[in-house]
Amino acid sequence: MSYNQISEFWIFPESLETLLLNSNLISSLNNSTNINHLKNLTTLDLSYNMLCDISLLSELVSLKYLFLKNNHIIKTTTLVKLTNLCELDLESNEISEISDLKKWENHENIAVLNMKGNQVVRLF
């Protein structure tokens, strides 16, 4: 469903394991998006959208791969709850606080963390 000018979430089947919505026009995730019912989701790509608040994603505990490149994300605090996460791509967002980088140091499963292009990376 990438590259389709989608601006809001649809109702997806609960059994869905992979959802690729990159390069669309999605600007918000809220309770009406019904994303939090996708409990089997292991891969989610929301890169190249217009997201700022990603706190609802913290309910997707089965996620292993999360791609959020090129959005307007400022905080990633709630994502630490995703203990199964192996790969997280946050390249080219608006993350500026060192705490958003430091909290990933002790994350048990994270193997790939991409924060390139954020202000916090320029601090080092």
Domain ranges of the chain: 18-122
Residues 6+ apart with CB under 8 A from 67: 22, 44, 45, 46, 47, 87, 89
* Residue 17 confidence (pLDDT): 97
* Residue 32 confidence (pLDDT): 62
* Residue 105 confidence (pLDDT): 80
Low-confidence ranges of the chain (pLDDT < 70): 31-33, 122-124
Q: Which CATH fold would you assign to the domain 18-122?
A: 3.80.10
Q: Give strand pairing partners of 43.
A: 18, 65
In angstroms, rounded to a whole number, what is the distance separating the alpha carbons of residues 109 and 71? Answer: 24
Query: Cα–Cα distances in Å, from 94 out to 46, 69, 79, 83?
Result: 15, 11, 16, 23
Say which DSSP state 67 is in.
E
- The model carries a pTM of 0.91
